[in-house]
């Protein structure tokens, strides 16, 4: 049973911090059947994907018009999602071919444990080696994860109270909302070693993010630029969103997920409150479409003709299926129902790939970096990863 499965069981048993812990929700039998088929299809799809990769390549995106796979090396921030998704599918289907492929590609990824030039070691190493270590604990996996946590910690600046996201020109200290997702690796490291420094870094970063990234309506800026010497915020802006003051959809999803896991790991109610506020901003937004698959930015100028972002939807669904256990019954039911709707719609032919197509990816229609003109309306590895995670979390509600 991997760490995600343990979390699911704990949620169902009501072991997590009181508020809403006794909430119980009933999954739809028809959707459970759809999910089972989705996992069967995912098994076949990821074998198609694997056959298209060279030994040192990681999938990044697929361009249907050119019938071309876009790949990366192990240093790309998404490199951990391919082995992580393989392992999640393996947990459901027990197809050893997927386990073998994950073990192969993990060997290529392992060197990134010493990468101190990225804040995304949580994505890269915890979504991959974290899952692998939960399925089959090995001393080498544990050491890789600890080295990764050490590498991530080197990017923390106590003056700004944050982990630096992007290396940039001197004088700039850039922190993006995505970084909330990388804190889980640090909590794991404290649990395993007893060294509280990792925990303190994670909490300090989350507190600074809550203070400086969020507007009064609980929407998030994408990027905050600090003065590294004084800790003063110099500017708040976007990189991948429509405008500096817009609400980039995936950024809102990263925050929702990140503050939900902060509550799980600390039990501090301020993080639960923050997650609830973010959820309310998303779910009550007049520009959230009825099918709950968000436009790539909540303030995109051409809504309702703006592109959708399946990756943001998948992240939202997974986060809501955890958050619904921590809050009051009424909110919890809304969160559960919304996640259910998202999974249903992502499972439809509108968003789910036909078998044997789409380079082996599961989902269509994600948006990576619209302003830069890259990864626009294509499948993306993190969309698949969080879709698979959301489906596994939904299935766990049936095991009560």
| Residue-level pLDDT, tens digit, the chain, 400 residues | 443 444 433 443 343 444 445 578 999 999 999 999 999 999 999 999 999 999 999 999 999 889 999 999 999 999 999 999 999 999 999 999 999 999 999 999 999 999 999 999 999 999 999 999 999 999 999 999 999 999 999 999 999 999 999 998 888 999 999 999 999 999 999 999 999 999 999 999 999 999 999 999 999 999 999 999 999 999 999 999 999 999 999 999 999 999 999 999 999 999 999 999 999 999 999 999 999 999 999 999 999 999 999 999 999 999 999 999 999 999 999 999 999 999 999 999 999 999 999 999 999 999 999 999 999 999 999 999 999 999 999 999 998 6
Number of compact structural domains in the chain: 1
Looking at residue 64, its pLDDT comes to 87
Its domain, for residue 19, covers: 3-396
Catalytic, out of 41, 178, 297, 309: 178
CB atoms within 10 A of CB 88: 28
309 marked among binding-site residues: no
297 marked among binding-site residues: no
C-alpha of 114 from chain center: 22
Count H helices, E strands: the chain? 14, 9
Active site residue 178: yes
120 marked among binding-site residues: yes
Looking at residue 400, its pLDDT comes to 62
Active site residue 120: yes
Given a contact cutoff of 8 angstroms between Cβ atoms, the answer to whether 56 and 108 are in contact is yes
Catalytic, out of 41, 43, 95, 120: 120
Looking at residue 52, its pLDDT comes to 96
With a CB cutoff of 8 Å and minimum separation 6, the contacts of 329 are: 20, 23
The CATH number that applies at residue 94 is 1.50.10.10
CB atoms within 10 A of CB 328: 11
Is the backbone peptide bond immediately before 369 cis, with ω within 30 degrees of 0?
no
202-239 core/surface letters (b: 16 or more CB in 10 A; e: else):
bbbbbbbbbebbbeeebbbbbbbbbebeebebeebebb
126/131 Cα distance (integer angstroms): 7
Q: 329-346 and 381-396 are packed helices; what angle lies between their axes, rounded to 10 degrees?
A: 130
With a CB cutoff of 8 Å and minimum separation 6, the contacts of 148 are: 112, 113, 121, 124, 125, 126, 129, 185
Task: Give kind and range of the element (H or E) at residue 237.
Answer: strand 233-237
Find where tokens 């006794």 sit. Answer: 22
Q: 3-13 and 381-396 are packed helices; what angle lies between their axes, rounded to 10 degrees?
A: 40
250 marked among binding-site residues: yes
Looking at residue 156, its pLDDT comes to 98
254 marked among binding-site residues: yes
């Amino acid at each position: 049973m991997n760490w995600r499965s343990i979390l699911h069981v704990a949620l169902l048993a009501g072991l997590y911090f009181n508020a809403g812990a006794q909430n119980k929700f009933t999954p739809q039998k028809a959707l459970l059947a759809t999910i089972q088929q989705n996992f069967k299809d995912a098994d076949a799809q990821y074998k198609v994907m694997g056959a298209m990769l060279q030994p040192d390549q990681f999938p990044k995106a697929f361009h249907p018009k050119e019938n071309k796979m876009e790949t990366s090396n192990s240093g790309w921030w998404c490199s951990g999602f391919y082995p992580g998704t393989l392992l999640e599918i393996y947990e459901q289907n027990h197809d050893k071919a997927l386990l073998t492929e994950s073990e192969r590609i993990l060997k290529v990824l392992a060197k990134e444990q010493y990468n101190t030039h990225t804040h995304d070691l949580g994505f890269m190493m915890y979504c991959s080696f974290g899952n692998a270590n939960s399925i089959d604990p090995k001393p080498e996996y544990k050491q890789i994860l600890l080295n990764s946590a050490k590498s991530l910690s080197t990017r923390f600046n106590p003056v700004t109270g944050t982990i630096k996201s992007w290396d940039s020109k001197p004088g700039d200290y850039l922190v993006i909302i995505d970084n909330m997702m990388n804190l889980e690796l640090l909590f794991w490291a404290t649990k395993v070693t007893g060294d509280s420094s990792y925990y303190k870094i994670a909490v300090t970063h989350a507190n600074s993010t809550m203070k400086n990234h969020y507007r009064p309506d609980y929407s998030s800026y994408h990027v905050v630029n600090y003065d590294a010497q004084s800790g003063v915020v110099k500017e708040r802006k976007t990189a991948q969103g429509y405008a500096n003051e817009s609400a980039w959809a995936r950024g809102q999803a990263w925050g929702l997920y990140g503050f939900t896991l902060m509550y799980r790991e600390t039990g501090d109610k301020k993080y639960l409150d923050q997650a609830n506020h973010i959820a309310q901003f998303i779910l009550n937004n007049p520009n959230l479409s009825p099918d709950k698959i968000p436009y790539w930015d909540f303030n995109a100028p051409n809504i309702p003709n703006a592109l959708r972002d399946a990756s943001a939807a998948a992240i939202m669904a997974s986060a809501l299926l955890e958050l619904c256990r921590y809050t009051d019954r009424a909110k919890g039911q809304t969160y559960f129902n919304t996640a259910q709707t998202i999974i249903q719609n992502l499972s439809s032919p509108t968003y789910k790939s036909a078998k044997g197509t789409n380079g082996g990816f599961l989902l269509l229609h994600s948006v990576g970096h619209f302003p830069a003109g890259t990864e626009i309306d294509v499948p993306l590895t993190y969309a698949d990863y969080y879709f698979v995670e959301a489906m596994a979390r939904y299935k766990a509600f049936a095991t009560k």
